[in-house]
């Protein structure tokens, strides 16, 4: 790396910020996948893995993997998390090896694919939930669902930052 590239990297660390955004997106996606509360009400809780109802002697939980829309949501989010993991690892390895310019377009495309998958899942979930009328009482989408949206926002931010071509503009100043 030449002195000009190092100076540009110090002044415009977009790719490092993009790497951090991809990591945060991955962490939020894992937290959303493991969250026990996507939809809650007074006596009901629904996650991606199980639906729990409060009965007089405690809580009774059943698997949600029998419903096709819940399995589709889970598969879309797991696929988005996997694509984000691959793009994060590719970016991290190429950044550490100093060959970071070669893989930015690939990482950006992968992250845009992950964003599309994530947004499809997050739109599918409430539409099919309300369509299936699991709850007839007041309910709200809880923090697990919000973490999924946060993950999608960080994925999009990382993808946009990887698309920036700062090397084209640096040569004009020197």
DSSP string, 85-125: HHHHHHHHHHHHHT-TTTSHHHHHHHHHHHHHHHHHHHHHH
Residue at 171 is within a domain? no
Identify the helix (H) or strand (E) that includes residue 63.
strand 58-63
Per-residue confidence in pLDDT tens, the chain, 174 aa: 555 555 444 446 888 888 999 999 999 999 999 988 888 888 788 888 888 888 888 888 888 788 888 899 999 999 999 999 999 999 888 888 776 677 888 899 999 999 999 999 999 988 888 887 655 667 788 888 999 999 999 999 999 998 887 655 544 443
Quick one: pLDDT at residue 11? 47
Residue at 81 is within a domain? yes
Quick one: pLDDT at residue 97? 79
Q: Is 36 helix (H, G, I), strand (E, B) or coil?
A: coil
Phi-psi region of 111 (alpha: psi -120 to 50; beta: other; left: phi over 0): alpha
Instruction: Look at the chain and report how many structural domains it folds into.
Output: 1
Residue at 3 is within a domain? no
Residue at 56 is within a domain? yes
Whose structure tokens read 């377009």?
105
- Please tell me the distance from the alpha carbon of residue 134 to that of residue 139, in angstroms, as a whole number: 10
State the residue range of the domain holding 48.
11-165
Residue at 1 is within a domain? no
Residue at 28 is within a domain? yes
Q: Is 138 helix (H, G, I), strand (E, B) or coil?
A: coil
CA 139 to chain centre: 24
CATH assignment at residue 122: 1.20.140.150
Query: What is the pTM (predicted TM-score) of this model?
Result: 0.82
Backbone angles phi, psi at 59, to 5 degrees: -110, 140
């Amino acid at each position: 790396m030449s002195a000009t590239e190092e100076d540009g990297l110090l002044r415009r660390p977009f790719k490092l910020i993009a790497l951090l955004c991809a990591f945060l997106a991955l962490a939020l996606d894992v937290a959303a996948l493991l969250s026990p509360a996507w939809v809650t009400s007074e006596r009901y809780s629904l996650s991606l893995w199980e639906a729990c109802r409060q009965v007089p002697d405690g809580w009774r939980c059943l698997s949600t993997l029998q419903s096709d829309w819940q399995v589709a949501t889970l598969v879309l989010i797991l696929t988005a998390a996997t694509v984000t993991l691959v793009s994060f690892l590719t970016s991290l390895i190429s950044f550490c090896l100093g060959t970071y310019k070669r893989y930015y377009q690939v990482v950006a495309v992968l992250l845009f694919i992950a964003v599309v998958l994530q947004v499809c899942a997050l739109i599918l979930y409430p539409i099919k939930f309300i369509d299936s009328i699991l709850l007839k009482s007041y309910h709200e989408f809880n923090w697990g669902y919000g973490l999924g949206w946060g993950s999608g926002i960080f994925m999009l931010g990382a993808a946009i930052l990887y698309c920036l071509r700062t090397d084209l503009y640096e040569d004009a100043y020197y």
